[in-house]
Structure 1
Amino acid sequence: MGTAMTLTAGGDVQVTLTKAGRTKVRYPATVVDDDGVRVVVRAPWGRPTVRDFGFVRFEPGDVFTEHYWRDRWYAVKEVRAADGSVKGWYCDVTRPAEVGPDGIVIEDLDLDLWQSADGSTVLRLDEDEFRRSGIEDRDPVAAARARQALDALEEQARGGRLRAL
């Protein structure tokens, strides 16, 4: 990737999540910090509707503080309600973030993890989707890294370390 571009705190940036070579979602965010390895941005829930996962509801007014690493295979998103209370942490297993003039680009590898605000619930998500994606045949090295990342996220969640980000 060459010399890492760092983003300026307070600046606007686009976050793009891709999956299987296509843009899944793209949204604006504000840069909180960029130390050259980890980028932290803040973004409001960008949809006018509620998305109910059963274990959490993302709704208008929610704010996501998102942590992306240039050297880790995941992203961690702290989710807060409009009143400022923490709902929990939603973690995406991704390839390391690419940061450049067009913003932050991450490739979703299907595996996710959720930890509730009180830490009592830790859920591994979308493992069936991961298996169906064909990545284990197409890119076994990336598949292995993705599984390692999910295990590491679960260990961090169960150890209470996601809260310390």
Structure 2
Amino acid sequence: MDADLTLDIRNLQTHFTADPGVSKAVDGVSFAVRRNETLAVVGESGSGKSVTSLSAMRLIPSPPGIIAGGEILFRGRDGQVRDLARLSERAMRSVRGNEIGMIFQEPMTSLNPVYTVGDQIGEALRYHQGLDRRAARAEALAMLKKVGIPAAERRLDEYPHQMSGGMRQRVMIAM
């Protein structure tokens, strides 16, 4: 894999068992993303954009879904290239959230309405980086500031419904 590539998806095939037969939701998708590059995946509803993204993150529910073929080559921060399609679930959990993530169009489906955004960001930091509560809160505040949340100190203790949609998306980016 080219040293400048971060993600190289080659001939991805994601299928779902259906009654009767198999639905080939993604069949032969290939693309590459270079370091510091943004890629937009555009297509009509049902064309496989979400299934492709969920496959790259290994978030396809199995059953009924399966990555039937192809490679999902990802270069981690350590420079090592891994085929995410072949990683164990345990190894994938250490990559997901630490090195790659997904921000959904509607963040309210990803944020828990009964916890403050600071608690939710802090939980991810404690889980993925092993920080204690105090350090996780300080890092959560720094991340909110980094993504441009106004009055980040106050917003840390607010609930998702108290924020605009754009702020909720920035919270997901911070997370």
Normalized per residue, the structure richer in helix is: 2
> Does the pair score TM above 0.5?
no
Normalized per residue, the structure richer in strand is: 1
Greater relative contact order (CA < 8 Å, ≥ 6 in sequence): 2
Instruction: Give TM-score, length-normalised by structure 1.
Output: 0.30
* The structure with more radius of gyration: 2
